[in-house]
Amino acid sequence: MSAGSGMRALRGPAATLVDNPFEQPSRACLVTHEDALVVIEDGIIRAFGPYAELKDAVPAGAEVHHYPDHLLVPGFIDAHVHFPQLQMIGAYGAQLLEWLDTYTFPAEMSFADAGHAARVARLFLRELLRAGTTTAMVYCTVHPHSVDAFFAESERFNTRMIAGKVLMDRNAPAALLDTAQRGYDESVALIERWHGRGRQLYCVTPRFAPTSTEAQLDAAGALLKTRDGLFLQTHLCENPGEVAWVRELFPARASYLDVYAHAGLVGPRSMFGHAVHMHEGDFCTCHQSGAGLAHCPTSNLFLGSGLFRLFDAVDPRRPVRVGLGTDVGGGTSLSQLQSLNEAYKVAALTGHKLDAVQGFYLATLGGARALGLEGTLGRLAPGHEADICVLDPQATPLMAFRAGYCASIEELLFMLMTLGDDRAVRATYAAGACVYDRARPGDPFLPASS
Ligand SMILES: [Zn+2]
């Protein structure tokens, strides 16, 4: 943890969400400073405000990293992503079920080789940091060593990550199947090893209802009771063919979500990916239980799954917590700026406007709330973990030109979420340590330990 300790500060223009712009006027939910100071000690933000007011809070000799002409924002939160699918991102021509058989399962089978899992985990963590993402909720494969590989890499960068071993005991290639008992036992061992170790958090991870028997879903429910603070992730109502299949496999259940509810999987630390084809009753169940939904626009467009009804989900009469997911490899970019670019278009196609404040909320504070990590992540504010993304609004010649015509912070944020991607990330801080700096000579990545 040495890289996170000691007092240091980041200085520059800054923006952070402080409230929910789907329930309050957007302008009231965003705090900005043209010249801010973020004071950090032991990996935690101790003070945040105008430089002129806070400059005396930093002792002489403490490091101050100055980013004039940049924008400090909270590190991005990716609520749904598969690290083993990096090798088949951008695979041509299939919808969900065919895509799983043709591309996903063969890719995941290659993770039987622990060396391969370690190499991909190494690349994946670096690609997240290059995109300014400091927390992700991650599917590994059915192989326990894929989870070890991922968390070991996260531990090197001291990033706060949430991940788990995929549970599948039917309807997938034999090489990727466990059993209800074996999946339970392997998950218990991984929970013992990783949950709460440093910044790592464990997530019980049945892939989705069609690849788990009822016995396995019940075992997942039992796993959630073994320790405090465990998470649950799975897929829900992504594609019409999938929804019909679930209806055939579980004829006794009232809905797809009810399959999970029956197994005890729907609660405040549950995150359901996609939720494109939802009924009003499903949204009510999510609202009442505090479960979160991961909006994955690049994936839903790429796989032709459908349009997520974001503004229905967050309806203030029964708001559901929503985070933003890249869903790589169904998604086409690990950059949450690119997710927002597509989220804006999905909203437009459903008759709504997603403004920039709402967009950045989904990618930061909204994601933290959806994961039950409000107060820990997602804001530049005292007491929060110092996970920070330094954006460069002039990253490309076109962005630099366009930025010159932005008359407000909202316009600048909207330009970033429309034109930006990993090129717009100058540096990324995890628990106060600069783990990625595009301008660092040689290797731009700096693990806290290796
Ligand atoms: Zn997914």
Q: What pLDDT, in 10s, does the model give residues 387-421? A: 999 999 999 999 999 999 999 999 999 999 999 99
Residue 446 lies in a domain: no
Report the separation in Å between the CA atom of 181 and the middle of ligand 1, taken as the mean of its atom positions: 24
Percent of the chain with pLDDT over 90: 96
Residue 174 lies in a domain: yes
> Is 309 found in the same domain as 174?
yes
Report the separation in Å between the CA atom of 80 and the middle of ligand 1, taken as the mean of its atom positions: 6
> Is 81 found in the same domain as 44?
no
Does the model's pTM come out above 0.85?
Answer: yes
> Is 66 found in the same domain as 175?
no
Residue 133 lies in a domain: yes
Mean predicted confidence (pLDDT) in 193-204: 98
Report the separation in Å between the CA atom of 331 and the middle of ligand 1, taken as the mean of its atom positions: 8
Do residues 29 and 21 lie in contact, with contact meaning Cβ atoms separated by under 8 Å? yes
Do residues 361 and 28 lie in contact, with contact meaning Cβ atoms separated by under 8 Å? no
Of 337, 370, 403, the domain-final residue = 370
pLDDT class of 4 with cuts at 50, 70, 90: very low
Report the separation in Å between the CA atom of 374 and the middle of ligand 1, taken as the mean of its atom positions: 23
Of 334, 350, 370, the domain-final residue = 370
Domain range for 30: 2-74+382-437
Percent helix / strand / coil, the chain, rounded to 5: 40, 25, 35
Q: How many separate domains does the chain show?
A: 2
Report the separation in Å between the CA atom of 330 and the middle of ligand 1, taken as the mean of its atom positions: 7
> Is 388 found in the same domain as 360?
no
Percent of the chain with pLDDT over 70: 98
Neighbours of ion ligand 1 (CB under 5 A): 273, 327
> Is 348 found in the same domain as 208?
yes
> Is 409 found in the same domain as 337?
no
> Is 211 found in the same domain as 360?
yes
Report the separation in Å between the CA atom of 67 and the middle of ligand 1, taken as the mean of its atom positions: 35
Report the separation in Å between the CA atom of 335 and the middle of ligand 1, taken as the mean of its atom positions: 16
Report the separation in Å between the CA atom of 383 and the middle of ligand 1, taken as the mean of its atom positions: 32
Do residues 193 and 186 lie in contact, with contact meaning Cβ atoms separated by under 8 Å? no
> Is 57 found in the same domain as 37?
yes
Of 370, 393, 421, the domain-final residue = 370
Count of CB atoms situated within 10 Å of the CB of 26: 19
Q: What does 223-285 look like in DSSP terms, one character per residue?
A: HHTSSTT-EEEEEES--HHHHHHHHHH-TTSSSHHHHHHHTT--STTEEEEE--S--HHHHHH
Report the separation in Å between the CA atom of 401 and the middle of ligand 1, taken as the mean of its atom positions: 36
Report the separation in Å between the CA atom of 404 and the middle of ligand 1, taken as the mean of its atom positions: 38
Residue 56 lies in a domain: yes
> Is 256 found in the same domain as 178?
yes
Report the separation in Å between the CA atom of 354 and the middle of ligand 1, taken as the mean of its atom positions: 23
Residue 337 lies in a domain: yes
Report the separation in Å between the CA atom of 273 and the middle of ligand 1, taken as the mean of its atom positions: 6
> Is 339 found in the same domain as 264?
yes
Q: How far apart are CA 321 and CA 292, in angstroms?
A: 5
Residue 287 lies in a domain: yes
CATH of the domain at 159: 3.20.20.140
CATH of the domain at 48: 2.30.40.10
Report the separation in Å between the CA atom of 277 and the middle of ligand 1, taken as the mean of its atom positions: 15
Mean predicted confidence (pLDDT) in 368-383: 98
Report the separation in Å between the CA atom of 75 and the middle of ligand 1, taken as the mean of its atom positions: 21
pLDDT class of 5 with cuts at 50, 70, 90: low
Residue 443 lies in a domain: no
Write the pLDDT tens digit of every residue in 220-255: 999 999 999 999 999 999 999 999 999 999 999 999
Residue 447 lies in a domain: no
304 by Cβ neighbours in 10 Å (0-12 / 13-18 / 19+) ranks as exposed
Report the separation in Å between the CA atom of 30 and the middle of ligand 1, taken as the mean of its atom positions: 30
Handedness of CA 22, 24, 25, 29 (dihedral sign): negative
> Is 416 found in the same domain as 286?
no
Report the separation in Å between the CA atom of 299 and the middle of ligand 1, taken as the mean of its atom positions: 8
Write the pLDDT tens digit of every residue in 80-139: 999 999 999 999 988 999 999 999 999 999 999 999 999 999 999 999 999 999 999 999
> Is 138 found in the same domain as 126?
yes
Write the pLDDT tens digit of every residue in 41-60: 999 999 999 999 999 989 88
Q: How far apart are CA 196 and CA 192, in angstroms?
A: 9
